[in-house]
Amino acid sequence: MLRILNLDAGYGKLRVLKGLSLHVSAGEAVAIVGANGAGKTTLLKSIAGVLRPWAGTISFDNQPIQGLPAERIVGLGCALVPEGRHVFPTMTVRENLLLGAYCRRGRDGGAEIAEDIKRCFDLFPILRERQHQLAGTFSGGQQQMLAIARALMSKPRLLMMDEPSLGVAPLVVRDIYRTVARLKDQGLTILLVEQNARAALTVADRGYVIETGQIVLEGSSRELCGNREVQRAYLGKEYQTIDE
């Protein structure tokens, strides 16, 4: 579904992604694991069209999308849940969700959109309870749920999530990941970027480990979890015994 070949991207003179290649097949959940500053967010921003790639190709359903404006990419069915949520704090839950369906204006009727809002509420019941509250009054976890729901309102076929567990209470992280697993079971394709490798690899089928803008390891989640280097660096195992 998503295929990236030799992607270069960065900011100003700073080259962050250095010839990175990866793919996500339909129905798959793929995790990108890496330390802070490795280029994970840059990667998602490049795919979503927020950042213009320097070189390389990004194709979505065999169609090149690199350089397209972000709204076109959302329209094609590729939505991003950005790091730090970025919900609209002075708007209500319902208004935030309606904005998520912005790209569907003139295409889908109000009934369909209302149906999708209902589906989001089923997914996150807390949002139904608080649908008329302002998003700015929410906790980190609730904002994250809202951000995911808002992305789902664009009816994506590929959902990209940037650090969904960041700044969220551990118990809520578990809830969010349960929902991610449910979305995957419903057939949604997911690309997940996480520093919380353990959580990401439990829902993902495959993963890539990214270091300083390059992929250094690729494999099934089982393989990555079984890799001692990944265990030491990202899963926090053996932290007492590391003496090298």
Q: Which residues bind another protein (CB under 8 A)?
A: 3, 5-6, 18-23, 25, 208-209, 211, 214-219, 223, 226-229, 244
Least distance (Å) between residue 208 CB and another protein: 8
Q: Which two tokens stand for residue 201?
A: 């690899």
Least distance (Å) between residue 164 CB and another protein: 24
CA distances from 150 to 37, 73, 93, 101, 144 (A): 27, 16, 9, 8, 10
**Considering beta carbons, is residue 10 or 84 the nearer one to another protein?**
10
Alpha carbon distance 145, 178 (integer Å): 12
Least distance (Å) between residue 25 CB and another protein: 8
* DSSP of 199-232: HHHHH-SEEEEEETTEEEEEEEHHHHHH-HHHHH
Least distance (Å) between residue 13 CB and another protein: 16
Least distance (Å) between residue 217 CB and another protein: 6
**Considering beta carbons, is residue 195 or 227 the nearer one to another protein?**
227
**DSSP category for residue 54:** S
Instruction: With beta carbons less than 8 A apart as the criterion, state whether 116 and 152 touch.
Output: yes
HEC profile of 141-170 = HHHHHHHHHHHHCCCCCEEEEECCCCCCCH
**Considering beta carbons, is residue 171 or 243 the nearer one to another protein?**
243
**Considering beta carbons, is residue 31 or 98 the nearer one to another protein?**
31
**Considering beta carbons, is residue 114 or 216 the nearer one to another protein?**
216
